[in-house]
Amino acid sequence: GAGVSQSPSNKVTEKGKDVELRCDPISGHTALYWYRQSLGQGLEFLIYFQGNSAPDKSGLPSDRFSAERTGGSVSTLTIQRTQQEDSAVYLCASSFFGNTEAFFGQGTRLTVV
């Protein structure tokens, strides 16, 4: 597709389970971001990938959160031992390196019950 694609759109999981969220960035975009949007809150930066450089993980809230980007394209955000406070919309964005406009996917709404 032409835009950033995220899957699944919605995920309901039980507390304590692990979840994986997927992001397919726009083809050719070397920069990829993950953000978290909680109800009524702004966008919280989680992690940033740029090409083959070491990712900027400074926004990850705990060691239960991790992310990978394989082959410089698809990215997976993994949350281990989910907690209710992890419930939020997780947004992925991509951009060309050096280009300041980031294009967002539609997000994955995660609900931990």
Partner 1 sequence: QQQVKQSPQSLIVQKGGISIINCAYENTAFDYFPWYQQFPGKGPALLIAIRPDVSEKKEGRFTISFNKSAKQFSLHIMDSQPGDSATYFCAARVENNNDMRFGAGTRLTVKP
CA-closest candidate to residue 62, choices 47, 52, 72, 40: 47
Residue 87 found at the interface with partner 1 (CB under 8 A): no
Contact segment (CB under 8 A) with partner 1 among 14-22, 39-47, 61-69, 79-87 equals 39-47
Short-list 93, 111, 87, CA closest to 23: 93
**CB closer to partner 1 out of 57 and 81:** 57
Given 77, 107, 110, 112, the residue binding partner 1 (CB under 8 A): 107
CB of 111 to partner 1, least distance (A): 15
> Can residue 101 be called a binding residue for partner 1 (CB under 8 A)?
yes
Q: Which is nearer to partner 1, 38 or 83 (CB)?
A: 38
Query: Does the footprint of partner 1 cover residue 96 (CB under 8 A)?
Result: no
For residue 20, give every residue at least 6 positions away whose Cβ sits within 8 Å of its Cβ, in sequence order, or none: 76, 77, 78
Calculate the CA dihedral of residues 111, 86, 19, 22 and round it to 10 degrees.
90
Q: Strand 103-104 and strand 88-95: pairing? A: antiparallel
Neighbours of 70 (CB within 10 A): 8
The DSSP 8-state label assigned to residue 34 in this structure reads E
Looking at the Cβ atoms of 14 and 85, the one nearer to partner 1 is 85
Binding site for partner 1 (CB under 8 A): 4, 33, 35, 40-45, 48, 50, 56, 58-59, 91, 93, 98, 100-107
